[in-house]
Amino acid sequence: MQAIHSKGSENATAFVNGHVYTIDDARPWAEAFIVDPNDRFEAVGSNEEIRSIAQRRKLVQYQLQGKLVMPGIHDAHTHLLKAGSQRTGEAHVGWESGDETLASNIQAASCSCAYSNVLSNWIVGNFYQATNFADGIPDRKYLDQLYPDTPVLVREISCHRILVNTAGLREMGIDDDVKNPPGGFFGRRLDGTLTGEIVEAATVPIWANLPTTPLGYAKTVIEFAMSECHRYGITSVQEASATTVYLHAGRELEAENRLPLDICTHIVSAPAGATGEREEALAALLDVAEAFESKHVHTGFVNFWLDGAPLPPQLPNAVWTAMGSPMPSIFC
């Protein structure tokens, strides 16, 4: 019996009646093209030229109906898993949320997430702005009334600082005696007690000790993020925060033929930051990165975090003093 498969030349597809931008200076525009079973262009030309080839080879023809066709866009900095998680499993509180509305907005939005309990008992929301709070100071007290026992974490719009309620601080073993690490700090009230706002390097132990993202959910989130990329014509990306769960998700999606996006995975080296993974685990991942290489996943990239968010100039000098350091002169 003759073997039947979909990779033979007869399975190429002709696309006709399009408005095709080729990025070829000699012929920047065309009407039609042929794509082989391995997703490579075989021919580009006029409707007449491509139809002639298609009829001779008895190829299936797809009518583009005048639509614009162009090469895929490459996104040079993206976070498929993180951004996808924010869209599908976190409470969208709205950037206008402030001291009077943050907790109630979380309560309303957390009921409408596509997925819940993705980080066990934690509720994660996005995003808040300090300027919407009394005196410009976010405080855990605005979360504690509605969430006295459930740990809650809300991302600030830059994603370089977070607000954690009292239950969350308690679960992480953080109290008023905690010290500021290099490159970060814990927000404090004028009496020295914690506000619950945590900035830059001080967020590392929070992210590292949150419940691990289940692999099945990670795959679902990455698929969602890829579909969003395709909506905007993005066909390849530079992933800026690849981790162990991310690479395992990519490998399984590839094996299941569910990875229609080229991904250059920048494995985080240091600092671990908001990856949710410890630096020693990420270092070990770099040693075996080639094992995750595939048709659509390219693992020969490393990311060293160099970005950060400036400390907001609107904080009163008394608050800086309570944090343990005077206001930097650049903000005076």
The pLDDT mean for the chain works out to: 89
My answer on whether 206 and 216 are in the same domain is no
**Amino acid 194: pLDDT:** 98
Same domain, yes or no: 104 and 251 = no
Confidence band (pLDDT; 50, 70, 90) for 308?
low
d(CA 228, CA 205) in angstroms, rounded, equals 31
206: tokens are: 């929070």
Q: Are residues 136 and 254 in the same domain?
A: no
pLDDT for residue 297: 98
Last residue of a domain, one of 71, 103, 119: 71
For 329, the token pair is: 């002169």
**Residue 102 belongs to some domain of the structure:** yes
pLDDT tier at 331, thresholds 50, 70, 90: very low
Q: How confident is the model at residue 112 (pLDDT cuts 50, 70, 90)?
A: confident
In a domain, 310, yes or no: no
Domain co-membership, 234 together with 161: no
Domain count along the chain: 3
Exposure string over 138-159, b if 16+ CB within 10 A, otherwise e: bbbebbbeebeeebbbbbbeeb
Instruction: Give the Cα separation of 73 and 294 in Å (integer).
Output: 21
Q: What confidence score (pLDDT) does residue 323 get?
A: 46
User: Is residue 180, in this structure, part of any structural domain at all?
Assistant: yes
Looking at the DSSP bridge assignments, the partners of residue 234 are 73
Q: Answer yes or no: do 85 and 195 share one domain.
A: yes
Letter for the amino acid at 177? Answer: D
CA distance 253 to 151: 32
Give strand ranges (E) for 57-189.
60-63, 68-69, 73-78, 91-92, 123-128, 152-156, 161-164, 184-188
CA distance readout (Å), 125 to 107, 155, 272:
10, 6, 21
Give the whole-angstrom CA distance, residue 268 versus residue 257.
Answer: 26
Strand partners, 228: none
Among candidate residues 227, 226, 212, 218, the one with its CA nearest the CA of residue 252: 218
> What's the rounded Cα separation, in Å, for the pair 265 and 289?
9
- Residue 116, in any domain of the structure: yes
Tokens of 144: 């504690």
| Helix (H), strand (E) at residue 251 | helix 244-255
123-128, strands of its sheet edge to edge = 91-92, 123-128, 152-156, 161-164, 194-200, 184-188
Please give the C-alpha separations between residue 61 and each of 7, 14, 25, 46, 58, in angstroms, as whole numbers: 17, 5, 27, 14, 9
- Per-residue pLDDT tens digits for 122-177: 999 999 999 999 999 999 999 999 999 999 999 999 888 999 999 999 999 999 99
The CATH number given to whatever domain includes residue 97 is 3.10.310.70
**What is the pLDDT, as a whole number, of residue 305?**
76
Angle, to 10 degrees, between the axis of helix 215-231 and the axis of helix 80-89?
100
Range of the structural domain that residue 58 is part of: 10-71
Please tell me whether residues 87 and 189 are part of one structural domain. Answer: yes
On whether both 206 and 94 belong to a single domain, the answer is: yes
Size (the chain), residues = 332
Same domain, 204 and 220: no
Q: E strands along 25-114, which residues? A: 29-30, 32-35, 41-45, 60-63, 68-69, 73-78, 91-92
Instruction: Look up the CATH number of the domain holding residue 21.
Output: 2.30.40.10
The reported pTM is 0.81
169 and 239: one domain? no
Identify the weakest region by mean pLDDT among 30-44, 182-196, 312-326.
312-326
Nearest Cα residue to 90 out of 265, 210, 240, 209: 210
